[in-house]
Amino acid sequence: MSLQSRDVRRNGARPAKHHVLSVLVENRAGVLARVASLFARRGYNIYSLAVAPTDDERFSRITVVVDVESAPLEQVVKQLNKLVNVVKISELDPRDSVERELMMVTVKAPAAVRNQVIELIGVFGGRILDVGHDELALSLDEHPERLDDLEQLLAPFGITDLQRTGRVALPKLERTPPAGLRSAG
Amino acid sequence: MNTNGGSALIRSLELEGVEVIFGLPGGAILPVYDPILDSPIRHVLVRHEQGAGHMAEGFAHATGRPGVAMVTSGPGATNIVTPLADAYMDSVPMVCITGQVPTAAIGTDAFQECDITGITRGVTKHNELVTRAEDIPLAIRQAFHIATTGRPGPVLVDIPKDIVDPMNPNSAMDWYWPSDADVSSSLPGYKPTMKGHPRQIKEAAALIAAAHQPVLYAGGGILKARAAEALRELAELTGIPVVTTLMARGAFPDDHPLCLGMPGMHGNYTAVTAMQQSDLLIALGSRFDDRVTGKLDGFAPDAKIIHVDIDPAELGKVRRPDVPIVGDCRLVIEELIKAIGALGGPESRADITPWRQTLSGWQEKYPLVYEQSADGDMLKPQYVLEQLRDRSPEDTIVASGVGQHQMWTSQYWKFNHPYTWVNSGGLGTMGFSVPAAIGAKVGRPDRTVWAVDGDGCFQMTAQELVTAATERIPVKIAILNNAYLGMVRQWQEMFYEERYSEVYLSPDLPDYVKWAEAMGCIALRVESPEEVGPAIDKANEIDDRPVVLEFRTDSSEKVYPMVSPGKSNDDIVVDPTQGEPTR
């Protein structure tokens, strides 16, 4: 597994080709390590990773963004499926899913520019988490590309700390009602 | 609390039908060794844990039942990593129990502690660290279920000392035995697909009926699925010739008129070239290994592919199949036979007689050949193998190490029965043959078991002959002693301008006869062709202790045919006496 440098994105380049896998796993010790070492052993690159328990305590969900240029997605999925603790894998094409990621960032904001920073986070719909005498701590949960944009805009002020969670995703919902419902309406 | 984890572990193994454990005790696994004294399970005490692992593999190869190995924590566990990796590559069903330091000591760098589940994650089908005594029966049932179903493989169960030690309150538990339903509900992510998809099978049947130059490409999966008879029925129904990969030797009888033998880097000309020129490869439990395909983009360029495998990840991993079928080889072949029958009689299929004639022509033109040694010269390894083959019982089980002797054994033996060939294919583990042969003989005491070994291989695991002598396991070892790491020597001769780097081993050091005798074996040195037969006959008569025959063989002998690394199978080099193939 290699976590690709985020500098790639700062330079404006999007992750070449990525896919989001939503992997339902048994909630047991060592399962994340199995998944991670499978990626390492088979030479697949992970772009981002998020793990959390689900509403069913027996299972956890691993949302992993895979660089599909390092290996065909089909092989990644099939090899993951061979892990005994992997219960179900859903592939989410970025075009057919809604994605979110959380960024927390501490930025230099002395009095002279503080309003500019506050305005910026307001435009993005983010929040101010903490206020220091010459710094602000901000948070934004948004599409990862929007996080990139904010990050780029904050950079000139001076970012002192930044953390991102790795993305999570849900499939896009059906827009048109099924035929039966339509005629009824 | 009516039992303890240690007794429950042994009882669980008994209930799983385990007859023999190959192992070696040590501190962390000690409490589990006590109830073994009262168990009907036989324990074979090895001299090195690697031996235990390969014995378990040999047992599984010969019987089809899972081999069981038990070792202690730390170095005991790390010593068995190679056999686990070997079993993983060759899909050998095996359960390995390792001792672990007490749960409270895990993570503290305790004496003989190592993270064996971490270490073996990539070389086992599954592994599990059990942390509560009451989880032991389920963990054992899961291990056997996972090791033997789907694509078989090794499973490791790591057991901390405190949960098996009756002196420790952590080991107290109430006995129970999980039902099949308990096992499957405890493994929500594990459901191997057994039955092939009917539509895919129909498509496969149609492709088979239309093919003019088809080849059945049989792999080790045939043996794992116990599908040898089904394969024979399919071949005889359709008249399609069969190649058997290194892992599938014996899956289809070598003396059958449709058998083309082994393909691959050292396969025979006809098997290799039949695949190259085929218009339809029917891959059955085979995985397009690099040693079979040669340079991938030159492999069987005009062939459509039907690929049957129980492991979905094999389909499309190397070569994209036209018809992928996930399922158990035996079940799929049986359905395929029905689907082909449903299309009609032989008249419903393309005529493959011209193809068969082409293949027989190649077989006549490019048989396996070698030059017999002149008087006073060293023995030819091929001659030794022919004699061994012809003078041993028809259903002899043969194990081999890895290298030239392995290729010659695969080439020159006549494998007419399934489960008679025990070898390390995928991992290529030198030192495999002696312990694997011992495991095979324990599993099939009624059979003659020969290990064909190289001098390099023999030195890696020979100590297990002490185990064999002590336990009265009468295996027979034929060392082809050419005083070199022969296959490496061959590559250095052919691809490194005869610059021989670190491959010479000496014919006399060690003295193999004295060494074997010191280990409780009967041993003979054979140097001339007329001694070969009588020595083998004598060895075959001995049935109360291991025998070692040391054959002094010609170190300049090379394995042919050969597809050089990185080359296409079209560039196969046959024995120099046969000239350059024309096509």
- Residues B388-405 have a mean pLDDT of 98
- Binary contact (A26, B188; C-beta < 8 A): yes
Beta-bridge partner residues of B400 = B452
Average pLDDT for chain B: 97
Q: What is the pLDDT of residues B204-250, one digit of tens each?
A: 999 999 999 999 999 999 999 999 999 999 999 999 999 999 999 99
Q: What is the largest CA-CA distance in chain A?
A: 62
State the Cα–Cα distance between residues B437 and A57, nearest whole angstrom: 48
Asked if B261 and B278 count as a contact pair (C-beta separation under 8 A), the reply is: no
Chain A residues in contact with B312 (beta carbon < 8 A):
78, 81
Q: Which residue has the higher pLDDT, B225 or A2?
A: B225
Complex ipTM, two decimals? 0.90
Distance from CA of A72 to the nearest CA of B (A): 9
How far is CA B405 from each of CA B19, B69, B187, B215, B384, rounded to the nearest angstrom?
Answer: 32, 27, 43, 27, 11
Asked if B312 and B328 count as a contact pair (C-beta separation under 8 A), the reply is: no
State the Cα–Cα distance between residues B165 and B35, nearest whole angstrom: 11
Residue reference for tokens 């042994």:
B10
- Binary contact (B312, A81; C-beta < 8 A): yes
Sorting pLDDT into bands at 50, 70 and 90, what band is A47?
A: confident
Distance from CA of A87 to the nearest CA of B (A): 4
Sorting pLDDT into bands at 50, 70 and 90, what band is A164?
A: very high
Chain A residues in contact with B311 (beta carbon < 8 A):
82
Residue ending a domain, among A92, A113, A148, is A92
Q: Which residue has the higher pLDDT, B53 or B1?
A: B53
Distance from CA of B151 to the nearest CA of A (A): 10
Indicate the helix (H) or strand (E) that contains B170.
Answer: none
Sorting pLDDT into bands at 50, 70 and 90, what band is A41?
A: confident
The backbone torsions φ and ψ at residue A47, rounded to the nearest 5 degrees and listed phi first, read -95, -45
Coil, strand, or helix at residue A30? coil
In this structure, are A57 and A103 located in the same domain? no
Look at residue A53 and tell me if it is in a domain.
Answer: yes
CATH of the domain at A87: 3.30.70.260
| pLDDT for residue A9 is more than 50 | no
Chain B residues in contact with A30 (beta carbon < 8 A):
117, 129
State the Cα–Cα distance between residues A143 and B551, nearest whole angstrom: 71
Considering only CA atoms, which of B48, B4, B372, B44 is closest in space to residue B163?
B4
State the Cα–Cα distance between residues B273 and A56, nearest whole angstrom: 56
pLDDT at residue A43, as a whole number: 85
Residue reference for tokens 């499939």:
A171
Distance from CA of B133 to the nearest CA of A (A): 17
On whether any CB of chain A is under 8 Å from the CB of B122, the answer is yes
Look at residue A184 and tell me if it is in a domain.
Answer: no
Structure tokens at B112: 């003989």
How many Cβ atoms sit within 10 Å of the Cβ of residue B374?
Answer: 6
State the Cα–Cα distance between residues B49 and B297, nearest whole angstrom: 41
Distance from CA of B122 to the nearest CA of A (A): 7
Q: How deeply is B274 buried, as exposed, middle or buried, from its count of CB atoms within 10 A (0-12, 13-18, 19+)?
A: buried
Structure tokens at B459: 């030195």
pLDDT at residue B245, as a whole number: 98
State the Cα–Cα distance between residues B75 and B79, nearest whole angstrom: 6
In this structure, are A107 and A38 located in the same domain? no
pLDDT at residue B463, as a whole number: 98
Which site among B190, B287, B288, B318 would you substitute to test the A interface, given the most A Cβ atoms closer than 10 Å to its Cβ?
B190
- Binary contact (A84, B313; C-beta < 8 A): no
pLDDT at residue B467, as a whole number: 98
Q: What is the pLDDT of residues B15-47, one digit of tens each?
A: 999 999 999 999 999 999 999 999 999 999 999
In this structure, are A15 and A76 located in the same domain? yes
Sorting pLDDT into bands at 50, 70 and 90, what band is A57?
A: very high
Residues of B acting as catalytic residues: 49, 111-112, 161, 487
pLDDT at residue B287, as a whole number: 98
On whether any CB of chain A is under 8 Å from the CB of B121, the answer is yes
Chain A residues in contact with B313 (beta carbon < 8 A):
75, 78-79, 81-82
Q: What is the pLDDT of residues B366-384, one digit of tens each?
A: 999 999 888 888 999 999 9
| pLDDT for residue B62 is more than 70 | yes
Coil, strand, or helix at residue B300? coil
What sign for the dihedral angle of Cα B387, B390, B393, B397? positive
Considering only CA atoms, which of B246, B235, B240 is closest in space to residue B215?
B240
| Measured torsion, CA atoms of residues A132, A136, A137, A140, in degrees rounded to the nearest 10 | 160
- Binary contact (B311, A82; C-beta < 8 A): yes
Considering only CA atoms, which of B178, B357, B332 is closest in space to residue B257?
B357
In this structure, are A88 and A105 located in the same domain? no
State the Cα–Cα distance between residues B50 and B290, nearest whole angstrom: 27
Q: Which residue of B lies nearest to A76 if distances are taken between CA atoms?
A: B313
Residue ending a domain, among A63, A92, A121, is A92
B317 → closest Cβ in A29, A58, A75: A75
| pLDDT for residue B544 is more than 50 | yes
A87 → closest Cβ in B188, B311, B317: B188
State the Cα–Cα distance between residues B529 and B535, nearest whole angstrom: 10
- Binary contact (A84, B146; C-beta < 8 A): yes
CATH of the domain at A136: 3.30.70.1150
State the Cα–Cα distance between residues B217 and B285, nearest whole angstrom: 8
A84 → closest Cβ in B117, B129, B190: B190
| A to B CB pairs, distance under 8 Å | 40
Look at residue A185 and tell me if it is in a domain.
Answer: no
In this structure, are A74 and A11 located in the same domain? yes
How many residues are there in chain B?
A: 583
How many Cβ atoms sit within 10 Å of the Cβ of residue A44?
Answer: 22
Angle at B415 between CA B410 and CA B421, to 5 degrees: 65
| pLDDT for residue B280 is more than 90 | yes
In this structure, are A88 and A102 located in the same domain? no
Residue reference for tokens 């006073």:
B376
Sorting pLDDT into bands at 50, 70 and 90, what band is B365?
A: very high
Sorting pLDDT into bands at 50, 70 and 90, what band is A182?
A: low
Look at residue A179 and tell me if it is in a domain.
Answer: no
Residue ending a domain, among A92, A115, A133, is A92
Structure tokens at B118: 């971490």
pLDDT at residue A185, as a whole number: 42
pLDDT at residue B401, as a whole number: 97
In this structure, are A68 and A145 located in the same domain? no
- Residues A132-145 have a mean pLDDT of 96
- Binary contact (A81, B122; C-beta < 8 A): no
On whether any CB of chain A is under 8 Å from the CB of B117, the answer is yes
Coil, strand, or helix at residue B422? strand
State the Cα–Cα distance between residues B330 and B269, nearest whole angstrom: 29
Look at residue A156 and tell me if it is in a domain.
Answer: yes
In this structure, are A102 and A51 located in the same domain? no
In this structure, are A14 and A48 located in the same domain? yes
Supply the DSSP symbol for B403: S
- Percentage of chain B modeled with pLDDT above 70: 100
In this structure, are A66 and A122 located in the same domain? no
Q: Which domain holds residue A23?
A: 7-92
Spell out the SS3 assignment of B188-257.
CCCCCCCCCCHHHHHHHHHHHHHCCCEEEEECHHHHHCCCHHHHHHHHHHHCCCEEECHHHCCCCCCCCC
Q: Which residue of B lies nearest to A38 if distances are taken between CA atoms?
A: B122
Q: How deeply is A156 buried, as exposed, middle or buried, from its count of CB atoms within 10 A (0-12, 13-18, 19+)?
A: exposed
Sorting pLDDT into bands at 50, 70 and 90, what band is A68?
A: confident
- Binary contact (A30, B312; C-beta < 8 A): no
Look at residue A132 and tell me if it is in a domain.
Answer: yes
B313 → closest Cβ in A25, A82, A86: A82
On whether any CB of chain A is under 8 Å from the CB of B187, the answer is yes
Residue reference for tokens 């080849």:
B215
Chain A residues in contact with B146 (beta carbon < 8 A):
84
- Binary contact (A87, B126; C-beta < 8 A): no
| pLDDT for residue A10 is more than 90 | no
Q: What is the pLDDT of residues B410-419, one digit of tens each?
A: 999 999 999 9
Indicate the helix (H) or strand (E) that contains B68.
Answer: strand B67-71
pLDDT at residue A2, as a whole number: 45
Asked if B228 and B222 count as a contact pair (C-beta separation under 8 A), the reply is: yes
Look at residue A63 and tell me if it is in a domain.
Answer: yes
Coil, strand, or helix at residue B496? coil
- Binary contact (A81, B316; C-beta < 8 A): no
Chain A residues in contact with B121 (beta carbon < 8 A):
33-34, 37
- Binary contact (A75, B313; C-beta < 8 A): yes
Asked if B512 and B523 count as a contact pair (C-beta separation under 8 A), the reply is: yes
Q: What is the pLDDT of residues B259-271, one digit of tens each?
A: 999 999 999 999 9
User: Quick one: residue B257, left, alpha or beta (phi over 0 = left, psi -120 to 50 = alpha)?
Assistant: alpha
Asked if B15 and B59 count as a contact pair (C-beta separation under 8 A), the reply is: no
In this structure, are A67 and A128 located in the same domain? no
Look at residue A20 and tell me if it is in a domain.
Answer: yes
Average pLDDT for chain A: 87
Which site among A75, A82, A87 would you substitute to test the B interface, given the most B Cβ atoms closer than 10 Å to its Cβ?
A82
Q: How many domains does chain A have?
A: 2
In this structure, are A62 and A137 located in the same domain? no
Domains along chain B? 3-185 (3.40.50.970), 198-365 (3.40.50.1220), 381-552 (3.40.50.970)
Residue reference for tokens 């904001």:
A109
Chain A residues in contact with B125 (beta carbon < 8 A):
84
